[in-house]
A = this chain, B = another copy of it.
Amino acid sequence: MVVGDVTTGTELLIIGAGPGGYVAAIRAGQLGIDTTLVEKDAYGGTCLNHGCIPSKALISATDVAHDAREAEEMGIHADPAVDLAGMVDWKDDVVDQLTGGVEQLCKANDVNLVEGRAEFADENTVRVAHGGEGQGSESIEFEHAVVATGSRPVEVPNFEFDGEHVISSRDALALDSVPDSLVVVGAGYIGMELATVFAKLGTDVTVVEMLEGILPPYEDDVSKVVRDRAEEIGIDFFFGEAASDWEESGDGITVRTENEDGEVSEFGAEKALVAVGRAPVTDTLNLDAVGLETDEDGFLATDDRARTDVESVFAVGDVAGEPMLAHKGMKEGEVAAEVVAGEPSALDYQSVPAAVFTDPEVGTVGMTEDEAEEAGFSPVVGQMPMQASGRALTLGDTGGFTRVVADDDAGFILGAQVVAPEASELIAEFGLAIEMGATLEDVAATIHTHPTLGETVMEAVENAQGKAIHTLNR
């Protein structure tokens, strides 16, 4: 479909092959849309290369060693040796399989793949600069475009990433030896997941956080379970401490923090991992040329069809705003492609689940009790402690609970908070319940396999009804 010498044309042009972009591309290909996907680095984006997948790979691998080391109570005596370089190789293999898979799936669905960095040239053209010196560039005309350029880590002033002393999550996922000690700046989900990995690998981990607790978006009783476990495995926390600067000292560094009262503390460590949030990548796209502006945080506003203020341009994934999660981006990618194909799709989901892969995991979906109240419901809450779950006991892992929030009048399930082993999986059933408009009665009536952690879903629901079997009803 060559339009001129150096200009090609495409019906749908997608910038960025992360979960938002590649899913949009595959779905568009399935729908028979002539689709071009431009990626400057690696298929799969942050998620597959430097985010979800490598972090979860290291988490599950370190858990294998940690669980064996801690299993004396179960009659297991093990002293596993971990070779981090070997673990990282394995993790890279996992990543390669998945990114290779994404590339193949795109091709199988007839997506044109273009390697290079795209920016807008005018309302219906992007210019793509190919990687490497003298590789040239090309222009691609489009009818519709999807911006899916994702996000990058936020830098703290005075803490530019140097990959050596001050590292990002991306660097942390590719270390080839275990640091003796690590200061983690930021106790959000990325900081906590990685702090846990390194503590289990034997690193002396100190977490400094500006706010007053870990995992700030979560309720106190949820984050407390994670914090207690983190402290058990040796992580030290310092709250109300803002990282102000650092200097080299000996083999490592000294990180200075300041509290509200201006008091300075110092933390010595081999490295500092800074994980204080992520910002959208929209500044390199020449958005002006297509008539778009971002909000002050750099996000693109979209409507319920994933469309920006410019009719022909969609935005999906991290650039389209919170929650900055892969599965939210995937859904937006699907919807954008379907809308371009003229289908009656919309972002009309009731909730986006979220998981934190700490020890134990946290999984949430829908509203908390407070949020339900603010939304005008009279919420009723039910809870099941893992301590009373037969399955949790057989796993030797009984921290946490499953909680459900429902509307007291009609019984509709509004939300759930789970902090437990496999919490990331357990919220799936709640997610379906919320989308279906299921009531407490519906979930309580569903037979749940014994012995499973999923039974705590049913028990929490029955607790909200005042008729749980395996826990006392309040």
Contacts and interface: CB of A to CB of B under 8 A. Distances in A.
A108 interface: yes
A86 to B, nearest CB: 3
A27 B395 CA distance: 27
Contacts of A175: none
A3 interface: no
B427 A449 contact: yes
B467 A30 contact: yes
Interface in A63-118: 64-65, 67-68, 71-90, 94, 97-98, 101, 105, 108
B446 A442 contact: no
A83 B454 CA distance: 30
Contacts of A330: 450, 469
A185 to B, nearest CB: 25
A438 B445 contact: no
Interface in A426-474: 426-429, 431-433, 435-436, 438, 442-443, 445-455, 457, 467, 469-470, 472-473
Interface in A389-444: 390-391, 393-396, 422, 424-429, 431-433, 435-436, 438, 442-443
Interface in A123-138: none
Interface residues on A, range: 35 or more
A455 B47 CA distance: 15
A279 interface: no
Contacts of A469: 23, 26-27, 105, 330, 334
A435 B388 CA distance: 26
A53 interface: yes
A52 interface: yes
A154 interface: no
A328 interface: yes
A331 interface: yes
A300 interface: no
Nearest to A98: B390
Oligomer: number of copies: 2
B429 A436 contact: no
A326 interface: yes
Contacts of A467: 27, 30
Contact of A448 (B422, B428, B451): B428
Interface stretch (A34-42, A240-248, A289-297, A347-355): A347-355
A48 interface: yes
Contact of A94 (B26, B65, B77, B393): B393
B428 A452 contact: yes
Given A326-B450, A431-B446, A469-B105, A74 B78 contact: no
The 8 closest A-B pairs by CB, nearest first: A75-B86, A75-B87, A78-B80, A68-B68, A428-B454, A326-B450, A327-B450, A56-B394
Given A61-B74, A97-B393, 19 more contacts: A53-B451, A56-B394, A61-B396, A64-B71, A65-B78, A67-B67, A68-B68, A75-B89, A78-B78, A105-B469, A325-B449, A327-B455, A349-B446, A353-B447, A424-B454, A425-B453, A431-B449, A432-B432, A436-B436
